[in-house]
Amino acid sequence: MMVVYRRPGNRVWLTWAPQLASWDRTGAPSQLRLAQFLAHADASTSALLTGDGPFAVELTVGLPDGTALDTDGRDLDNYLYPLAQHLGATRFAAVFGRKTRGRSWLATGPAVPDTKPATAPRFTARLTGSYVRPEWKRALRDLLIRDGVTPAPAGPLALHVTIGTGPARNWANLWKPLIDSLGPLLGEHPGRPFHPHDDRIVDLSLHHHIDAALGYDVQVGLRWAPLTATTVPS
């Protein structure tokens, strides 16, 4: 059964701006900025992440006034992935991210199941094979199309993802190939089916449950909703 979790409540304001994942060479300015932010995030949350877990973490990325939240890059999963990997992705059952304007903050705490989730997933699939192979992404994209999923209306979007795996899997490694496959939902560049408009996601929640019966398969559930000026995270 898919499990979803509540957002954590122990908020810590950040003095270092959140940084996107960097694939530049070691020692590049982007790598140094990311390392400084991760060290700050580690120091800010270490006292709250004690015990065996599982935990939940939320990062709210505060952007300057006048900055677009749903265009110009700044993909939420590229903020969340290095943070989760640095803090220890397997410790977390839920990871949340939001883009807003103003100050940035982190929240952490025990992962508490939400016994009354807002709605059931609008799409579910069980995927076989390795996520590093192009066939994995192609299978997910094809299933979305086959299920009749069409691009959500233009503008900011909330996306809620549940991921089921067998034990001893680093579920964070699934985030990017999964989201890269969501062109039928997010819209995508013509001729580039695995480059969706994922910067339009301004509220992202990722939930993990372990089911030994899945083996090496991956169970995916998706729920999404357009956001208006009154429902964009603040």
| Mean pLDDT rounded to a whole number for the chain | 93
Q: Tell me, what CATH number does 186's domain have?
A: 3.30.1330.70
User: Mean pLDDT, to the nearest integer, of 18-43?
Assistant: 95
Same domain, 129 and 95: no
Same domain, 79 and 17: yes
Q: Look at 24-33, 81-90, 125-134, 222-231 and tell me which has the smallest mean pLDDT.
A: 222-231
Cα–Cα dist 75/89, whole Å: 18
Full residue range of the structural domain in which residue 94 is found = 10-110
Same domain, 136 and 187: yes
Question: Taking 80 as the threshold, does the pLDDT of residue 118 lie above it?
Answer: no
pLDDT computed for residue 47 by the predictor: 85
Cα–Cα dist 66/102, whole Å: 11
Q: From the CA atom positions of the chain, what is the Rg in Å?
A: 17
Give the chain's domain count. 2
Q: Kindly state the tokens that stand for 156.
A: 């900011």
Contacts of 151 (CB under 8 A, 6+ apart): 184, 185, 186, 187
Between 229 and 89, name the one with better pLDDT.
89
For strand 55-63 and strand 92-101, is the pairing parallel, antiparallel, or unpaired?
Answer: parallel
Domain end, chosen from 110, 138, 165, is at 110
